[in-house]
Amino acid sequence: MAVGAEATISTVHVEQGLEAKKFERFVVNRPGVVYSVLPGLAGLSPRSCQVVDISRGGACLQMFTTIGLPDHYYLSFAGLAVRIGCAEIHRLDGRVGVRFIKLLPEGLLSKIVRGDFMAGDNLPGRVRFQ
């Protein structure tokens, strides 16, 4: 996968059923927003986070607090019209490991790692769910 040279590459294992998959993990340290669904589907509650690293299968997030954070939520980036469905796999203090509900397409991962979405080439008001 061709991505920016500034990204640090390591490996992460994502358990899916009986088979474990191995994905390249990129250290990005980018700000993000986690959206959790309010009780009764009354709306979305945003919470700021720092995306420490990311792969096609999941990410590591750093938050000020995880109090009241549910086990499932959406991850979003400013300037990128996509919300990525996440399932929490571990939590320690403010650090949270998530598995993506659906694997990220390589092109979307590349945009996140390289920061292409900061160029503003997305139409405002259009949010896709992944």
- The whole-number mean pLDDT for each consecutive block of 10 residues of the chain, a chain of 130 residues, reads 42 44 87 90 90 95 91 91 93 93 93 71 46
pLDDT of amino acid 7: 43
76 CB neighbour count, 10 Å cutoff: 20
pLDDT of amino acid 106: 93
pLDDT of amino acid 118: 57
The secondary element (H helix, E strand) that includes residue 110 is helix 106-114
pLDDT of amino acid 15: 47
Cβ-in-10-Å burial (0-12, 13-18, 19+) of 55 comes to buried
pLDDT of amino acid 55: 95
Give the whole-angstrom CA distance, residue 85 versus residue 99: 9
pLDDT of amino acid 11: 42
pLDDT of amino acid 78: 83
